[in-house]
Amino acid sequence: MTTALEINDIHKAFGRHKVLDGFSLRLERGEILGLLGPNGCGKSTVLNIICRLLWPDVGQISLMGQPLNRMNNKDHSLVGFCTQRCALYPDLFPAENLHFFGRIHGLSAQECQQRVAELMRTFSLNTFAETRVGQLSGGWQQRLHLAAALIHQPALLVLDEPTAAVDVEARSGLWRLIEDLRDRGVTILLTSHHLAEAERLCNKVALMRNGKVVVSGSVADLLVRMPGQAVAKVQSEDPETISQRAMLRGWTVRQQAGHIKLFLPQNLDLRDIMEALAGAKLTSLSVQPVSLDDAYLEFIGEDSLIQI
């Protein structure tokens, strides 16, 4: 597998506000990687740098084996960028928007015509051929936005929160389109707030905190690094006793937003857990395999976690 994108130790500050602080990431061709992290942690800044809308203060980036260069316009055509805010022209029709993006990416009039027809068909946009983009629903605008990012068949597709502003039904349509691109081997880097979205679409995720990636790999890789393979969520008026009992068993304990999480070495049944906690009053108890949500909180949600 060859490397599509390699980011090495980049730093970026806006004035005195340090946003990226030693950020590194690697993406192989054909992979789809989800960059996850809290609001304001610098995800869009990373994407803007990859797409050369911003420049890092320090650090190197290479795209398809070539270092990014301020002067080289070819770098632009390697990437298709679906920005967080919709970049379409509301007064134009869908095909006119696609045509515009095709031309700024250097496609000839004839190539443009062919690509626009293809994308209108594959993205089921023909139904809205006569509707001005400003009149389309958010979900259809986002479909068109995605099509526009693909007009020049970029080697890397960059999607900044592609489904953040759309309803549930439109989201599942966009997921199917992205899955289809993934299955056709398009290399994709996306950011998301939806852990379920990352879990469904991505073969790798990178969790970001304090300006850098704190952990990356497949979801399975991340879960193996958790303090347990199953998690019991307990509500109780007596958290002290619960913690003591759990720790006697060697279980890792976390307290979080009104409940206690016990990381178990394997998926125990409720009766075994209740036996281990005997003597403590429980209000509720559930157990499930560890998930990406647990990993997210464990690796980057430290502020909401109090280690006991």
Ligand X SMILES: Nc1ncnc2c1ncn2[C@@H]1O[C@H](COP(=O)(O)OP(=O)(O)O)[C@@H](O)[C@H]1O
Q: Which residues bind ligand X (CB under 6 A)?
A: 14, 19, 37, 39-45
Which of Mg ion, ligand X, none interacts with 163 (beta carbon under 5 to 8 A by kind)?
Answer: none
Q: Among 26, 23, 17, which residue's Cα sits nearest to residue 58?
A: 23
The structure tokens listed for 3 are: 């490397």
Sign of CA dihedral 168, 40, 48, 94: positive
Is residue 216 a contact residue for Mg ion (CB under 5 A)?
Answer: no
SS (H, E, C) 148-175: HHCCCCCCEEEEECCCCCCCHHHHHHHH
Cβ closest to Mg ion, residue 43 vs residue 171: 43
Question: 14 contacts which partner out of ligand X, Mg ion, none, CB within 5 to 8 A by kind?
Answer: ligand X
CA angle 296/301/306 to nearest 5° reads: 125
- State which of positions 52-91 bind Mg ion (CB under 5 A): 84
Least Cα distance to 234 among 267, 258, 264, 266 occurs for 258
Assess 48 for contact with Mg ion (CB under 5 A): no
User: Which of ligand X, Mg ion, none is residue 154 near (CB under 5 to 8 Å by kind)?
Assistant: none
Positive or negative: CA dihedral 191, 165, 52, 96: positive
Indicate the residue whose CB is closest to Mg ion.
44
- CB 71 to ligand X: min, Å: 22
Give the nearest distance from C-beta 207 to ligand X in angstroms: 12
Taking the complex as a whole, how short is the minimal distance between the CB of residue 276 and ligand X, in angstroms? 40
| Residue 44 binds Mg ion (CB under 5 A) | yes
Q: Which of residues 3-22 bind Mg ion (CB under 5 A)?
A: none
Token pair listed for 156? 């890397």
Q: Of 192 and 243, which CB lies nearer to Mg ion in the complex structure?
A: 192
